[in-house]
Chains A and B, each alone.
Chain A
Amino acid sequence: METTTRAQGQARERAELAALDDATLREALLRMHLIRKFEEAAEASYMRGLVHGTMHLSIGQEASAVGAVLPLEPHDYILSTHRGHGHCIAKGADPSRMLAEFFGKETGYCHGRGGSMHIADVEGGNLGANGIVAGGLPIAVGVGMSIRMQKLARVCVVFFGDGASNEGAFHESLNLASIWRLPIVFLCENNKYGMSMDIAKAMAVPNVADRASAYAMPGATIDGNDLPAVVDASKRAVARARRGDGPSLVECKTYRLRGHSKSDRNLYRTKEEIETWRAADPIARLARELEASGRFDASTLAAIEEAATRRIDEALAFARTSPEPDPAQVTRDVYAQ
């Protein structure tokens, strides 16, 4: 079991930053911006009444999403959560089709049938966001079995939250993955709260990764808002899985700056807490570090952000002008032919 303090993190950070080349960092930052802009655009659209239902925003969690996915190949799999827009974009999904899905349009990834919580980009290796807490964990076990049986050199990263680690499915899945040495990375985004339940009150141990030893797999708790640290931990877990050495549990400690869903009034946490974490905004942190270390100058950083903004604007326009599905087709695709 590993934990990093802030100070150690500072030293590690530089080495971990050095391990990443410029192209990779540019891509990572772009993706983080894309996620941020995407979430903000989705939020604004929701407030304008353009989005049905609700949505679970991951603003503030961009580093754990992008960092976890960065070491993956295109054919590797991810399984995501109800708070999965970031995972989806990190894995290379098209923001236009994602937003169209939120708008319920026929051009969305799921033709408007799935919505925000069930976004999937199967060709891109994203086997779907999941509306059931811990729903993806047993599925990941099956994906791992499938990879082994087909003798593919692939890995499956399954995201889940702190709350999910108290579901029976979590325990069954880690046990099964361990006894069968499945190529899975169990990636926990511990953002401190279920919906309103503080994880400290909900969980018997202080860190989710403390549970790894119960299932005979390595566990790591890291600063989930530190992109290079997340990449580093993810790389190691992915490599282990690809080697055939089995699963790992990686816990990214992070924070969601918005409520659980759009109806959350944040009664369970303080404004101070939110502000403290806002100061630890992963995108700002990375940008500062990149500038401080001389990797990118201010205008490059601005250009990256600008590119993200443009892309999301395009996505919005696409989503707005896309057609609605035909009600007569409501039972289409219930069964595969």
Chain B
Amino acid sequence: MPSDVVPAMRELSYAEAIREALGQAMERDDRVFLFGEDVGIYGGAFGVSGDLVHRFGSERVIDTPISELGLAGAAVGAALTGMRPVLEIQFSDFMTLAMEQIVNQAAKIHYMFGGKASVPMVVRLPGGSGTGAAAQHSQSLEAWFAHVPGLKVVQPSTPHDAKGLLLAAIDDPNPVLVFEHKLLYKSRGPVPADDYRVPIGIAAVRREGRDITIVAASVMVVRAQAAAERLAVEGIDAEVIDLRSLRPIDFATIRASVRKTHRLLVVYEGVRTMGIGAEIAADIAGSDAFDFLDAPIARLGAAESPVPYNPVLEKASVPQEDDIVRAARRLVREGEA
């Protein structure tokens, strides 16, 4: 092919991108295996694992009983003794059953043992609301885990990042939680075919702007980008930052953006109180970027309630594109959070 013709990159869905990452990782490294409820013959509750069991066999793509605590501990033990397990917890809400092994064991072993042992495990977690799955199957609990030293937490918003962050997570010698969003599984985007990494701890500026910085994660990035296009029409030039990592958070990129735009709006699906937006706002208020703020810091998060079942209520309980537009407009035009 002539060198000046760049082939259009093929598009994959977010789910396909994750499957590709798992397949490539398992091909290249015998230590990697996938286990969880219905990941084998069923192809995964959200269709992510697909045909992996046929390619790698049931010893490497393992169907398990419903035993989140046992499985989380199994991931710890396997990682401790030389494997690279990838555990799929069917709904991120079920991490509540696995908390002991994730928080008390996985996160702390490397430290408690004086650096002698490490736990290179990955937990994949479909999360978020919008599918009518109601209160116990729709939560966004990533902030809980971003609060635990020893864990790493990532949230891809695009198929490209879903593959790259998962491969980075599998490579990482620490326990990494990957919060995937159910509404994003069918979203499509360009995904390189090769074995690449998206580094953990680096945010991505999805849209450059001068008037306001909008920081978001996961599906909120998509909504923020749509909001930014609408804001541009009314003369507000928004910079959209995709966090990608919640622990560690790329504060440097956010601070640099705020120094430029002077206004900050953080949008996330976790409950607003005590969420990641609170952490980001506090960081900016306590850093040198404070001197560049020309308005209070605004946060959009989920309502202070369990996720409702009724679809109108469900939508109303988390930030939507309209909410982002309104909040940005209010911050820029009225100077109010």
Contact = CB atoms under 8 A, between A and B. Distances in A.
A–B interface present (Cβ within 8 A): yes
Given A120-B117, A172-B70, A132 B100 contact: yes
A266 to B, nearest CB: 28
29 contacts: A79-B77, A114-B112, A120-B117, A127-B77, A135-B101, A135-B104, A137-B73, A138-B69, A138-B74, A138-B77, A141-B70, A142-B77, A142-B78, A142-B81, A142-B83, A142-B85, A145-B78, A149-B31, A149-B59, A169-B100, A172-B65, A172-B69, A176-B64, A176-B65, A332-B115, A334-B110, A335-B110, A335-B150, A336-B173
Interface in B41-94: 59-60, 64-65, 67, 69-83, 85
Contacts of B65: 172, 175-176, 179
A127 B80 contact: yes
Interface in A251-300: none
Contacts of B118: 336
B104 A131 contact: yes
Contacts of A140: 73, 77
A137 B100 CA distance: 12
A78 interface: no
A142 B115 contact: no
A225 to B, nearest CB: 30
A77 interface: yes
- Closest 9 pairs (CB-CB, A-B): A138-B73, A142-B77, A172-B70, A111-B114, A333-B115, A142-B74, A142-B78, A139-B77, A110-B114
B109 A144 contact: no
Interface of B: 31, 33, 59-60, 64-65, 67, 69-83, 85, 100-101, 104-105, 109-118, 120, 149-150, 152, 173-174
B73 A142 contact: yes
A146 B110 contact: no
Nearest to B149: A334
Q: Which of B104, B116, B120 has the most CB of A within 10 A?
A: B116
A118 interface: yes
Interface in A111-156: 111-114, 118, 120, 122-123, 127-128, 130-132, 135, 137-147, 149-150
A132 B104 contact: yes
Contacts of B114: 108-114, 333
Contact of B80 (A137, A139, A337): A139
B112 A141 contact: no
A58 interface: no
A147 B82 CA distance: 9
Contact of A114 (B59, B77, B113): B113
B34 to A, nearest CB: 12
B259 to A, nearest CB: 28
Contacts of B80: 127, 139, 142-143, 146
A59 B297 CA distance: 59
B112 A145 contact: no
B25 to A, nearest CB: 15
B150 A127 contact: no
Given A111-B114, A139-B74, A336-B118, A146 B104 contact: no
A337 B200 CA distance: 13
Q: Which of A113, A146, A176 has the most CB of B within 10 A?
A: A146
Given A149-B33, A334-B150, A128 B73 contact: no
B247 to A, nearest CB: 10
A336 B176 CA distance: 12
A205 B79 CA distance: 34
A258 to B, nearest CB: 24
A150 B67 contact: no
A135 B149 CA distance: 19
B104 A176 contact: no
A53 interface: no
A120 B113 contact: yes
B216 to A, nearest CB: 26
A249 B109 CA distance: 26
A257 B34 CA distance: 45
Contacts of B78: 142-143, 145-146, 149
A327 interface: no
A64 to B, nearest CB: 22
Contacts of A337: 173
A248 interface: no
A168 interface: yes
B265 to A, nearest CB: 30
A173 interface: yes
Given A127-B77, A139-B105, A336-B110, 8 more contacts: A109-B116, A128-B112, A138-B77, A143-B77, A143-B80, A143-B81, A145-B85, A150-B82
